[in-house]
Amino acid sequence: MGATGAVGREIIEVLHDRNFPMESLRLFASERSAGKTIETPSGAITIENADSADYSELDIAFFAISGGWSKANAKKATDAGCYVVDNSSAFRYDDEVPLVVPEINTDAIGDSKLIANPNCTTAIAAIPLYNLHREYGLKKVIISTYQATSGAGAAGMSELTEETMNYLDGKEVKNKVFAHPIAFNTIPHIDSFQDNDYTREEMKVVWETRKIFSEPDMAISCTCVRIPTMRVHGESIVIETEKAISPEDAKKLLGETEGIDLKDDIENNVYPMPLTATKKYDVEVGRIRQNLVFGDHGLEFFVCGDQILKGAALNAVQIAEKL
Amino acid sequence: MGATGAVGREIIEVLHDRNFPMESLRLFASERSAGKTIETPSGAITIENADSADYSELDIAFFAISGGWSKANAKKATDAGCYVVDNSSAFRYDDEVPLVVPEINTDAIGDSKLIANPNCTTAIAAIPLYNLHREYGLKKVIISTYQATSGAGAAGMSELTEETMNYLDGKEVKNKVFAHPIAFNTIPHIDSFQDNDYTREEMKVVWETRKIFSEPDMAISCTCVRIPTMRVHGESIVIETEKAISPEDAKKLLGETEGIDLKDDIENNVYPMPLTATKKYDVEVGRIRQNLVFGDHGLEFFVCGDQILKGAALNAVQIAEKL
């Protein structure tokens, strides 16, 4: 559902790439797109109208339209016996709905027919953080993000491209998708502001990490910043741990963690970057060092993850694989 | 000295703009540039060879060539009775040489003829941090930066422009100034790596903030990241304070601080950005909120400062004004 959007299109690719055992793949989108035929790695498929889907014919539905649409349609699907993997934030904070990063908490699925996919920024940080938490106990987590324009969908990337061309041509730079021009700029504002003056994007990281880790009181904060990149969110992360931690041990642990590509060879200028993490399933982790503020109970590192993949499409397909 | 470089050119502008009381302005650069005449707001001036300057004819010299050049020439200048404001890192960590942000520690100058100008990233964060430190006592400071390409001089900006055009034209993107292509990328690596796996740029913030604040043991850490912007460094800052602190009181304090432009009106999407901080003397501070990790003893905020101005040329001229 939402097969023509940035995440929908990526789900189609990932299903094919990972050889997901499909009897048939059906694509749904808004009425506007219904009837059009699109080429996919699984063959040419005609888009159907998502509003009139008969869920009794479907085993698993990926929802990637909008929160409102998910809210209006999820029950219809699950009542018909169809699993729903929802990419929106509609159900993420619902105690009845599991919020799942497959490397971490598949157990949480239980017999729920509806499973929520976390926010991209959460999913990318969760992989390294969870393993550090299990071994060393996280006391404090402080995150600052470097988020790509595709976090706002395909329109975000187009806006960056267009604005950049206009800027370089000396023409006026107009914005529509973002609150301000993003070309050669940074915007410390993603999603709406909350009562505590954090943005919703920042609070998503807080709420979702606590839920996925089953640590409702975890001390965690986040500043989310949009920067002029196309794909891949970067995150600068500082942690304080219960047990003493050394960068060497952390590198060993994270290097052996499923879903992580350790990129930590500073002598050869190897560290996580959008350039290398783009279209990669694994999250890149590097610049691992002993944090100067928390000393031998602190670690500082940088991660880069393709937020359309691990932050959305890949995580959704991984959930379906577990189902 | 270094009149044709990015910082040198800006010093010329700032001297004129701030009506600095000059009997004469003389411009020096490398032998290659000597003899050329350039237009300045203070008239057309012929460049002289910096290596053969007679410092007995000069009252104040701004050094903006390189650390090596400063080391080789500073004593010659001060011995001749000329003040030197050095923009390089050559003397910043020398106990005998004052490192000055004029809003903070003019007292440190004493009768020294040689004064060091801090690193851009340090200078930008120092203004808000110092005032918070004086009122609330800083216990911990955690910084992640969003640094513009002009931090690497005019060549850095040219490289970003050229790479961006090539990227958008589908051509190969080659890098020379930075360790990797910077167009639509982020590079968590500025200056050389140190033994503790922090970069020198990150440690400059640690060393220099401690020195300027006269707090040799201050708990402070930093992750420095190059992003594809032209001018202005952004910094995401989290602090823990000795005394309880409220965002309201912090906004009042910072709003009244010399050198700060408070940009904190989230209802109207007003916060610090390179777009608005470019070519501005004041450092923009905003997104001020109670940090979720340190609670009522913690604050989180975002700053943007033109690193060629407050981070270099402006700070140097402000030091000269004090002299």
- One DSSP character per residue, A138-200 reads EEEEEEEEEB-GGGG-HHHHHHHHHHHHHHHTT-----SSSSS--TT--BS--S-B-TTS-BH
Angle between helices A247-255 and A120-136 (to 10 degrees): 120
Q: Which residues of chain B have pLDDT under 70?
A: none
Which of A149, A287, A302 to probe by mutation at the B interface, max B CB count within 10 Å? A287
Query: Least CB-CB distance to A300: which of B221, B227, B266?
Result: B221
Please compute the mean of the pLDDT values over residues A281-306 and round it to a whole number. Answer: 98
A124-149 pLDDT, tens digit per residue, is: 999 999 999 999 999 999 999 999 99
Q: What is the pLDDT of residue A173?
A: 86
Q: Do the beta carbons of residue B157 and residue B177 sit within 8 Å?
A: no
**Residue B140, SS3?**
strand
- Distance from the Cα of B122 to chain A's closest Cα (Å) equals 16
CA torsion sign for B69, B75, B77, B83 is positive
Please compute the mean of the pLDDT values over residues A262-287 and round it to a whole number. Answer: 98
CATH class for the region spanning B6-118+313-322? alpha beta
The gap between the terminal CA atoms of chain A, to the nearest Å, is 18
> A164 touching B, CB under 8 A?
yes
Contact flag A273-B187 (C-beta cutoff 8 Å) = yes
* H or E, element range at B139: strand B138-146
Residue B209: HSE in the Cβ half-sphere, 13 Å Cα cutoff: 29
What the block records as the tokens of B268 is 């109207």
Q: Do the beta carbons of residue A49 and residue A28 sit within 8 Å?
A: yes
User: How many beta-carbon pairs below 8 A join chains A and B?
Assistant: 166
A224 catalytic? Reply is no
**What is residue A108's DSSP assignment?**
G
Tokens 């008969």 belong to A54
Task: Domain A122-307: give its CATH architecture.
Answer: 2-Layer Sandwich (3.30)
Taking CA atoms, what residue in B is nearest to A221? Answer: B292
Catalytic residues of B: 120, 233
Q: What angle do CA B104, B105, B110 make, to 5 degrees?
A: 160
Residue B148: what residue type?
Answer: A
What the block records as the tokens of A137 is 């106990």
- Strands, E assignment, chain A: 28-29, 37-40, 43-46, 48-49, 60-63, 83-86, 114-116, 138-146, 219-223, 233-241, 260-262, 283-290, 298-305
Question: CA–CA separation, A298 vs A239, rounded Å?
Answer: 5
Question: CA–CA separation, B30 vs B4, rounded Å?
Answer: 9
Question: CA–CA separation, A263 vs B194, rounded Å?
Answer: 18
Tokens 């609150």 belong to A179
CATH 3.40.50.720 positions along chain A are 6-118+313-322
Q: What is the pLDDT of residue A154?
A: 86
The four Cα atoms A198, A203, A206, A207 give a dihedral, to 10 degrees, of 140
Residues in CB range of B260: below 8 A, 6 or more apart: B127, B128, B254, B282, B283, B284, B285
> A267 touching B, CB under 8 A?
yes
Contact flag B229-A185 (C-beta cutoff 8 Å) = yes
Tokens 């960590």 belong to B93
Which one is catalytic: A82, A120, A224, A304? A120
Q: What is the pLDDT of residue A18?
A: 97
A171-198 pLDDT, tens digit per residue, is: 988 899 999 999 999 999 999 999 999 9
Q: What is the pLDDT of residue B153?
A: 86
Contact flag B186-A140 (C-beta cutoff 8 Å) = no
Residue B219: how many other CB atoms lie within 10 Å: 19
* H or E, element range at B197: none
Taking CA atoms, what residue in B is nearest to A187? Answer: B273
> B230 touching A, CB under 8 A?
yes
φ, ψ at B27 (rounded to 5°): -110, 130
Residue B101: what residue type?
Answer: V
A16 catalytic? Reply is no
Nearest C-alpha neighbor of A223 from the set B163, B271, B218? B271
Q: Report the mean per-residue pLDDT for chain A.
A: 97
* H or E, element range at A135: helix A120-136
Q: What angle do CA A306, A213, A200 make, to 5 degrees?
A: 60
The gap between the terminal CA atoms of chain B, to the nearest Å, is 18
Please compute the mean of the pLDDT values over residues A154-169 and round it to a whole number. Answer: 95
Rg (CA), chain A: 20
Please compute the mean of the pLDDT values over residues A309-314 and round it to a whole number. Answer: 92
Q: What angle do CA B167, A232, B305 make, to 5 degrees?
A: 80
Contact flag B142-A286 (C-beta cutoff 8 Å) = no
A16-57 pLDDT, tens digit per residue, is: 999 999 999 999 999 999 999 999 999 999 999 999 999 999
Question: CA–CA separation, B181 vs B174, rounded Å?
Answer: 6
Please compute the mean of the pLDDT values over residues A267-294 and round it to a whole number. Answer: 98
Q: Which of A221-225, A309-313, B81-85 has the lowest mean pLDDT?
A: A309-313
Q: What angle do CA A38, A42, A44 make, to 5 degrees?
A: 30
Question: CA–CA separation, B148 vs B120, rounded Å?
Answer: 11
Distance from chain centroid for Cα A279: 13
Distance from chain centroid for Cα A43: 27
Distance from chain centroid for Cα B270: 23
Q: Examine the pLDDT at A299 and tell me if it is beyond 90.
A: yes
Question: CA–CA separation, A5 vs A29, rounded Å?
Answer: 9
CA torsion sign for B94, B96, B97, B100 is positive
> B166 touching A, CB under 8 A?
no
Q: What is the pLDDT of residue A311?
A: 86
Residue B201: what residue type?
Answer: E
Residues in CB range of A107: below 8 A, 6 or more apart: none
Q: What is the pLDDT of residue B133?
A: 98
Q: Do the beta carbons of residue B114 and residue B84 sit within 8 Å?
A: yes
Q: What is the pLDDT of residue A6?
A: 87
Question: CA–CA separation, A77 vs A56, rounded Å?
Answer: 8
